[in-house]
Structure 1
Amino acid sequence: MISLLLISCNSTPKKSYLPESIGAINSLAIVIDNDLWEGAVGDRVRQHFAAPVLGLSWEEPLFTINQMPAKVFSGSVLSTRSVLFIAKDTLSLSHIKTDMYATPQKVGVIKGTTEEEIIKNLDTKADEMIKAFKDLEIGEAQKRFLISLNKEKALEEKLGISLSIPSIYKVGKEEDSFVWIDRQIQKGSMNIIAYEVPGNHFKSNATLVADIVNMRDSIGKQFIPGPTVPGKTTYMITEKAFSPYVFPAEISNRKAAEVRGIWEIANYPMAGPFLTYIINDEENDRKIVIEGFVFAPATEKRDYMFELEAILKTIKFTDSQKPLEASIK
């Protein structure tokens, strides 16, 4: 019996435990030798992974890059959450590995026998890698929210939805079908608004962008006033000089539109970036609109907007039978 027990214990498979990954949100470790980094390969890497984020007031890169040669990529640095490894090799390949040295972790690998081949592989795989890194960073940000969540019920009671929102955010305004939640930051505020419109609100793809602008401007005029200026009416509108970017999206397993652009205040010099999701709720013949926008003059806003994006992507529909009598027209 003792022999059988010993055999049984020895045959138990050993579990592999990985350390928890580390790194600031939106940081990317790029492991590449200095000669490649300083040449055409490095230029193409920066073109992809340090490209400007769409819809910000001024140019800020997708990721904060930390470049290092392979010999430095050791010890605790192996636990970096998002890693891009690029090398000249006898092989030509491009792929993404998960949880190689830590968890959660994504490691993009690009190799080629020549610089031209490395660049070709990079061009082929860059968009997929950017999405993998961004999804990982969104997940990490959302995990950090769970430490302390806002427990107010305004979104659920007014709109039949919920968001995982850090407790530092507070409800500032709520109407029948409109909720405004915000938090104060050092030089301004971060804001989330949510409302609903009828399911047939957008009539045609040909006029979609103009209809989105009109919707936002109408909501701004009704609910989001600007500073008091004698003799003038001030409220939030979509910046007139540039049309917003509109992309198809999927949020909470529902078809949606993603809108990125700049807001401004009518009749007052104030502006900033916004991100809007317009989500189909066919069960209730409505569309739910959730938006994050930042006011932070003379301040970089990438990470603020990223936090708002991570919050908006936690949306859940909690009421499948919500009536629509109070929908904003």
Structure 2
Amino acid sequence: MKTFYATVFALILFTSCNNGKDQRIIPGSNGNINDLLVVVDNLLWEDSVGETIRDVVAAPVPALNQEEPLFSLSQMPPMVFDGFATKSRTILKIEKGGPAGMVIKNDVYARPQTVVVVSGKTDQEIKEQLESNGDKIIAAFKKEELKENQRRIKISLMDDAALEKALGVKLKFQTAYRIAKQDKDFFWIRKEIPTGTMDIMIYEVPLSTIEKGDSTIVDIVRMRDSIGKVHIPGPVEGSYMITEEAYTPFLFETKLDGKPTYETKGLWDVKNAFMSGPFVNYAIKDTANNRYVVIEGYVFSPSVEKRDNIFELEAIIKSIQIQ
């Protein structure tokens, strides 16, 4: 009988090993949103290689009313990169001595995780790799952080039935947010934070509202200013949200929910009042329903860093599904 059980156990063990020979049991990753661990020799970090790293991944976030880096960096030399440190969700490794190159790896030490390895035989080669691949490196880390932000949002979801009924839109946002205003096809969603508020607006406009070409940004500014005048009042009579005139917004073309989308980032202001902050606006072309679905996130939080607030709003917005 003992021989029988030993044989069965051996068969199970053998089968398990074969079925899982390409699988690894790795721990969960950790880290705050937009924190980036940089694994690089101390001498390189303190020299021109470190300057290039900071220029690439700690460049200022565009369209914020105070300077904040894309990522908050912490540095660690390779000799102590072990244990808990390897569980960081996003890691940039600099390896000197090998052929010049840049590789993006996933779930190397933990899951989920994005590890970017930049290598070169000389300092100059490493800097060239960082500079030439900067956009790809940033995009890889941002993709990972967006997924993590959306994962956290899903833990406590608000019921979006009202949005779906009125606009045919589904959106994943936390119960910490509330619908502050609903007026037919306009929704104003708000979250109170210790230093102010985080807000989302959702509405629809006819396709003729925004024309493709030189007038696109003008059309978008005119649209959001008219919405602000009607729906977003300021603290004193006659005040309302507008686009800050002294700051030209950034305009990009992207896709949300598989649909062509104008992405606009800039600063908002309040006419006749001293209030301002950053916003990100997405005008999604919904040809099937002859409209643009417009969804915008903005933050009011005076004298406080707002990078992570805007990033959370972007994570919510990018969960949108148009029915």
TM-score range relative to shorter protein: over 0.9
Give the counterpart of 2:267 among 262, 265, 284: 262
How many residues align? The count is 315
For residues 186-221 of structure 1, what are the alpha-carbon distances to aligned partners after superposition, in whole Å with 9 as ceiling and x for unaligned?
111100000001122223411111111100100000
Corresponding letter in the other structure for 1:91? P
Contact 2:160 2:172 in 1 (8 A): no
Higher mean Cα deviation, 33-42 or 196-205?
Answer: 196-205
For the Cα contact (< 8 Å) 1:111–1:118, is it kept in 2?
Answer: yes
CA distance in 2: counterparts of 1:152 and 1:40, whole angstroms: 50
**Are positions 1:219 and 2:227 aligned together?**
yes
Question: Which residue number corresponds to residue 241 of structure 2?
Answer: 236
CA contact (8 A) 2:38 2:76 kept: yes
Q: CA deviation at 1:91?
A: 2.4
Contact 1:91/1:113 (<8 A) preserved? yes
Pairing 1:68–2:73 present: no
Q: Which secondary structure does the structure 2 equivalent of 1:11 belong to? A: helix
- TM norm structure 2: 0.94
Q: Which residue in the other structure is 1:140 paired with?
A: 148
Task: Give the equivalent residue in structure 2 for 1:327.
Answer: none
Partner of 1:11: 15
**Contact kept in structure 2, 1:154 and 1:174, CA below 8 Å:** no
User: Is contact 2:160–2:171 with CA below 8 Å preserved after alignment?
Assistant: no
Matches within 5 A, 1:177-256: 177-229=185-237, 233-256=238-261
Identity of aligned residues (%): 43
Q: Distance in 1 between matches of 2:179 and 2:139?
A: 32
1:3-152 matches, cutoff 5 A? 3=7, 6-7=10-11, 9-12=13-16, 13=18, 14=20, 15-152=23-160
Relative to the length of structure 1, the TM-score reads: 0.93
| Structure 1: tracts of 5 or more residues without a match | 319-329
The amino acid of 1:305's aligned partner reads: I
Q: Which runs of 4+ in 1 moved over 6 A?
A: none
RMSD: 1.4
- How far apart, in 1, do the equivalents of 2:68 and 2:106 lie? 27
- Give secondary structure in 2 for the equivalent of 1:157: helix
- SS of aligned partner of 1:200: helix
Distance 1:190 1:8, change over 3 A: closer
Q: Where does residue 294 of structure 2 map in the other structure? A: 289
Distance 1:108 1:259 in 2: 29
Instruction: Give 1:85's aligned amino acid.
Output: K
Q: C-alpha displacement at 1:4, in angstroms?
A: 7.6
Provide the secondary structure at the position in 1 that maps to 2:33.
Answer: coil
